[in-house]
Amino acid sequence: MFEQIIISGFGGQGALFAGQLLTYAGLEEDREVAWLPSYGPEMRGGTARCTVTVSDEPIGSPITDTPSAVIALNPPSLEMFEPRVLPGGLLIVNSSIAKEEVKRKDIRSLRIPATDMARDEFANERMANMILLGALVSMTRVVTLDSVMTALQKNLPQRRHHLLEPNRIALQKGWDIAQQASKD
């Protein structure tokens, strides 16, 4: 297995944390992993994105111009990464904010109004990243959902542990949406 996943959005949408969680989950499964963030002044308010590599072999380049999957949390991310997804790859879009339809036909895609759902169901827009991550895990099986849950338990800072349960529910929610979509 060799997956390179880009998670991209505005600063504060949790792109970097979602990527870290996925990376920790890969580590739980004893895979080779790498998490490479964008960094610098843009981290504050601008674009925040990371590339997560999960592989069975030692990882060469942690950088990719052809990701196997992308989570686009906002319109600029959709615009930037839709053309780059590997043919046959996956594009998951936060359609609450990124309203454009996915144009490419040679990739799998799923639009989830994650920010709206997070606000309506968790009263916390910042859960959107977990909903989208749950969907990504479901559609790629890059790691198991169990591994993500374990990684969450281990790596969510103690002071945030009250968010453990909502995060779990959000991940499960995303997973279920993707399952349902694949049946439709």
Partner 1 sequence: MAKVLMKGNEAIAEAAIRAGCDGYFGYPITPQTELLEYMSRRMPELGRAFVQGESEIASINMVLGAAAAGKRAMTSSSSPGVSLKQEGISFLAGNELPAVIVNIMRGGPGLGNVQPSQSDYFQATKGGGHGDYFPIVLAPSTVQEAIDFTILAFELADKYRNPAMILGDGSIGQIMEPVELPEVESKPPDKPWAVTGCKGREKNIIRSLYLLAGPLEARNVILQKKYREIEANEQRHAEFMLEGAEMVIVAYGTTGRVAQTAITRARDEGMPVGLFRPITLYPYPKDAISSLVEQARVFLVLEMSAGQMLEDVELAVKGTVPVEFQGWLGGRVPTPSEVTQTIKEIRTKYLK
**Member of 7, 18, 34, 70 binding partner 1 (CB under 8 A):** 34
Let me know the angle formed at the C-alpha of 149 by 174 and 157, rounded to the nearest 5 degrees: 110
The β-bridge relationship of strands 108-112 and 90-94 is parallel
Closer to partner 1 by Cβ: residue 34 or 135 = 34
What is the four-CA torsion angle of 11, 14, 15, 21, rounded to 10 degrees?
150
Instruction: Provide, rounded to whole angstroms, the least separation between the CB of residue 115 and partner 1.
Output: 26
Query: How many helices (H) and strands (E) in the chain?
Result: 6, 6
Spatial separation of the C-alpha atoms in residues 45 and 183, rounded to whole Å: 37
**Residues linked to residue 127 through DSSP beta bridges, in sequence order:** none
Closer to partner 1 by Cβ: residue 45 or 100 = 45
Which positions from 42 to 81 touch partner 1 by CB under 8 A, shown as an x/- string? Answer: -----------------xxxxxxxx---------------
What is the CA 132 to chain-centroid distance, rounded? 6
- 179 near partner 1, judged by CB under 8 A: no
- 17 near partner 1, judged by CB under 8 A: no
Instruction: Provide, rounded to whole angstroms, the least separation between the CB of residue 105 and partner 1.
Output: 22
Question: Which residue in 56, 57, 23, 62 sits closest to 148, CA to CA?
Answer: 23
Instruction: Provide, rounded to whole angstroms, the least separation between the CB of residue 11 and partner 1.
Output: 15
Scanning 37-45, 90-98, 101-109, 165-173 for contacts with partner 1 by CB under 8 A, the matching segment is: 37-45
Q: Which residues bind partner 1 (CB under 8 A)?
A: 20, 23-24, 27, 32-37, 39-41, 59-66
